[in-house]
Amino acid sequence: MSRLDLVVEETERDRFARTSEVQIGDKKIRTPNFCALIQYPWEFEAFMGLSLTSTATEQLGSYVMRVFDASDILVPRLRIKGQTNLMGGNFTDELFSKFQRQNILFVDPALEYLFHEFHFQRFTKASQNLPIHRQITNYLNARERRRKNSSAKDYEKWKRASHTSFWHELDRNSKQRNDMIASFLDVELICGADILIPPVPFVTSEGLLDIALRINKISQAIATERAACATYFLLQKSILRHETMLDKIINFIKNDTNAITVFKFKNLTLWESGCIVERELFGKLKDAITEVKRSNPKKLYMILESSYQSFLCGCFFDVVSSSLRGFDRDSNYGQTGYGAWFYPEKLCHIKFSDLPTIMKNNGGRLPCNCAYCQNLTIPKLKNMSLEEWRDGRRIHYTLTMNELMKMIDEAIRTRKIELTREFLINSEMRNLKDLIPRF
């Protein structure tokens, strides 16, 4: 009776889709829910401000942070919160405390960055703030050294082999592996996570999938007294070309007793014309999820970094997550200049330079009903500073995702879920339409 359990109540159902209410302790969310991936301090400020002041947040209420982002954004705030001031009272950040009490937090171990290089240094920096397991930091340092000292071609070959052998060695030494799992779960708790996510490897092969399955089981055992713990699959996009591996995952989730299952397909681009096999196998996965949810409505499914697939995933997954920019690709990371605007009807991004033309053709306004875009005029847009636009387009994206999730919710309530298919057909994501059944 010490840990807070996740309670899922299905409220409405229309064929394959459903709405539900999810509760953990005093925190409640409605599904389909948009879970914002927060990567920067300004994103956190914008999201916190929005969730505390705006009324258009029915389908929000959860957010996810990668462990190294949480170390920069949340840990300093949490430390200040626990300190005592000279007058004998506590330092309190009322807004942050209120936000924390209302929103469900997931902290993603993000161990795909043991394979991809984008955040090596941030991971190492985070280990100064948080007790990240030594095996992980040692491996990152070794990788960084190798990257600096060898040619790009050699490094690419070595990287894949070293990633696989690192996980296999860790798995062979059960004491070290269990230590690593426990230390990651502790790190997530330090960051204030409500639901724990196991530190599974980035699955690129069958061997790594077996390790991921094992780590999921052990994480459940270790988290028993800590908090609710999810089953987590962190998968390379190419897994959607291997039916046997996908069958293994489906088999696992069918027999899994855990209440919440989280998927992350790294750099998933199902809308691209060449991804026919991937789309078919993704369809198989969503059918399996629908079947499990039908037989056990207490189960919750979540997808991370769903990018342009967010609207589609909202029909099958209960919680859908994507970054506040709407892009979930590391290759675009760190670009400067005025970022693109998410076009709600087209479900894709439009260049900032094209916005004045679009506004001119739309009576001087952007074709979006969100509170932020309604206040935007052409002169305002032209005089906007980089920082203002940076925050603004994130607020717009969050409000848009809330609207899109509300649209799915409404379609389920009125028993017209097929309308989501129509919406996809009229967008730039029409390649995804066949994933939504007609009947």
Partner 1 sequence: MLSILRLPGGRFLVELKAPEILAYKEVLSLRPKDRDSYIQGLIVQILGMNPQGVTVPEISKKTRLNRNTIAKHLKRLVAIREAYSLNRGNLSIYYKNGKVVHSRSSEHKFANDRFFTFYRLENDEGRFIYIQEKEIDEFRATKVKGGILVKDEDFLTFMRELQKFALEVSGNEST
Residues lying near partner 1 in the complex (CB under 8 A) are found at: 1-4, 174-175, 177-179, 182, 186, 189-190, 192, 217-218, 221-222, 224-227, 257
Q: What is the DSSP letter of 5?
A: P
The nearer residue to partner 1, 63 or 271, going by C-beta atoms, is: 63
Q: What sign does the dihedral 11-13-16-19 (CA atoms) show?
A: negative
Identify the CA nearest to 250 among candidates 199, 290, 194. Answer: 290
CB of 12 to partner 1, least distance (A): 27
CB of 214 to partner 1, least distance (A): 9
In the chain, what is the straight-line distance between the N-terminal and C-terminal CA atoms, in Å? 43
The nearer residue to partner 1, 178 or 238, going by C-beta atoms, is: 178
The nearer residue to partner 1, 99 or 341, going by C-beta atoms, is: 99
Identify the CA nearest to 5 among candidates 198, 217, 195, 219. Answer: 195
CB of 113 to partner 1, least distance (A): 23
| Residue 435 to residue 365: CA distance in whole angstroms | 33
CB of 7 to partner 1, least distance (A): 12
Pairing of strands 62-66, 104-108: parallel
For residue 24, the cross-strand partners are: 6, 27
The nearer residue to partner 1, 105 or 355, going by C-beta atoms, is: 105
The nearer residue to partner 1, 209 or 227, going by C-beta atoms, is: 227
| Residue 130 to residue 121: CA distance in whole angstroms | 14
CB of 71 to partner 1, least distance (A): 15
The nearer residue to partner 1, 91 or 333, going by C-beta atoms, is: 91
CB of 185 to partner 1, least distance (A): 8
Length of the chain: 439
The nearer residue to partner 1, 74 or 313, going by C-beta atoms, is: 74
Identify the CA nearest to 49 among candidates 382, 328, 371. Answer: 371
CB of 269 to partner 1, least distance (A): 36
Pairing of strands 33-38, 27-31: unpaired
| Token pair in block for residue 301 | 């499914």
The region, left, alpha or beta by phi > 0 then psi within -120 to 50, assigned to residue 182 is alpha
Contacts of 330 (CB under 8 A, 6+ apart): 116, 118, 267
